[in-house]
Amino acid sequence: MRVYNFSPGPSALPLPVLERAAAEMTDANGSGQSVMEMSHRSGDFKAIIEKTEALLRELMEIPPNYRVLFLQGGASLQFSMVPLNLAAVEPGESKRTAAYIETGIWAKKAAEEGAKYVEPVIRAGSADKKYTYIPEAPPPDPGDAYYHITLNNTIVGTRWPSLPPAGFPAVPLVADISSSILSEPLDVSRFGILYAGAQKNLGPAGTTVVIIREDLIGHAHPRTPALLRYDIHAGEGSLYNTPPCYGIYITGLVLEWLRELGGVRTMAKLNREKAELLYSWLDRSRLFYSPVEKPFRSLMNIPFLSRVADGEKRKALEEEFVKKAAAAGLVNLAGHRLVGGMRASVYNAMPIEGVAALIRFMEDFERSRA
């Protein structure tokens, strides 16, 4: 029996995609072989990666002066690749400054990793209220190498309702969009670099997508390792070394599924309906609540907490909730280990029926505590 999977990642994949992949497991596109055993230098795989890139360009309306790279290492490796490629200095020179907006745990980790290569300046942050809002972001300083934001904060459940003020492209705007890519329209031309781990809205874990403006390619320090240089990957069409072939193939199937549904604008409407349904119920609940300030609530990741005041009783209730929900076919609802509580990740592949089933379970659970 298929369950409703609310995991923050690796997350649920669309059932039609899984069924097609299963049907093509031993014979992909009439090649007589699985993509998992296909040479990445072959014409068969070239057709797959080119089609996947074309679909992504179409769905995201990526301008022609941007390159699309399919890499490995997850979004976390981009915490290093971005400064290594955008903020190179000569030996003996001081590190360049780079602006970071600290809106959550992953945004903080990006700045901490970047500190190995740049002087990170936290231009604004929301740690003062446990990251439950998006702070007002100042314009970039002209000397900054780049300006980094995390567009959707998976752990704490916030999203940027609008982008930072003008000041780009003189200072490239860089964004981690791992948990929001393709969930709603995004003006790619506002950014210098967009990057995303695939395991939330695109495909299986192991594939990372980087969308980079061409003028930002080719500035890495000469001592930057080859596998961490955007220019090398761009020059080889993401085939400098063996890429995550099967992940790219599944990503292509997900993109086909999304296009058949009507594209990103149709998906954005569905995502708003799902999120509004769950937030509306939480705002009426006597037992649960959303800790996030309303203007900044994520469409993708919806944490919620128990109103029980006593710490031990609250923890016991939340553990009971997660356990009974799983028994009812609603899995992976535990909050992140650093913040606790519960969290429902309702990415593109989550149907509205899954959200409705979760609400029915929550209603029953709440009645049992009345």
| Residue 237 and residue 278 in one domain | no
* Domains of the chain: total: 2
| Residue 144 and residue 273 in one domain | no
| Residue 233 and residue 274 in one domain | no
| Residue 25 and residue 105 in one domain | yes
Q: What is the pLDDT of residues 171-188, one digit of tens each?
A: 999 999 999 999 999 999
| Residue 215 and residue 315 in one domain | no
> Are the C-beta atoms of residues 195 and 219 closer than 8 Å to each other?
no
| Residue 257 and residue 329 in one domain | no
What is the rounded radius of gyration, in angstroms, for the C-alpha atoms of the chain? 21
Q: Does 9 fall in a domain?
A: no
Question: Domain of 315: which CATH number?
Answer: 3.90.1150.10
Give start and end residues of each alpha helix (H) in the chain. Answer: 15-23, 43-60, 74-86, 105-114, 230-235, 245-261, 264-284, 311-327, 352-368
Give the burial string for 89-109 (b: 16+ CB within 10 Å, else e).
Answer: eeeeeebbbbbbbbbbbbbbb
| Residue 107 and residue 177 in one domain | yes
Domain that holds residue 267: 262-368
| Residue 63 and residue 186 in one domain | yes
pLDDT of residue 329 exceeding 80, the answer is yes
Sign of the alpha-carbon dihedral angle for 198, 203, 205, 210: negative
Final residue belonging to a domain, choices 233, 261, 289: 261
SS3 category, 367: helix
Q: Does 357 fall in a domain?
A: yes
pLDDT at 139: 86
Question: Domain of 92: which CATH number?
Answer: 3.40.640.10
What pLDDT band is residue 164 in, cutting at 50, 70 and 90?
A: confident
* DSSP type of residue 334: B
| Residue 112 and residue 144 in one domain | yes
| Residue 24 and residue 121 in one domain | yes
Q: Does 354 fall in a domain?
A: yes
> Are the C-beta atoms of residues 103 and 125 closer than 8 Å to each other?
yes
pLDDT at 28: 93
CA distances from 155 to 140, 242, 333, 359 (A): 26, 32, 12, 21
Active site residues: 106, 176, 200
SS3 category, 211: strand
Question: Comparing 94 with 121, which gets the higher pLDDT?
Answer: 121
Question: Would the pTM of this model clear 0.75, i.e. be above it?
Answer: yes
CA 232 to chain centre: 24
| Residue 296 and residue 312 in one domain | yes
CA gap 132, 153 in Å, rounded: 10
Q: What is the pLDDT of residues 97-115, one digit of tens each?
A: 999 999 999 999 999 999 9
| Residue 219 and residue 266 in one domain | no
Final residue belonging to a domain, choices 236, 261, 286: 261
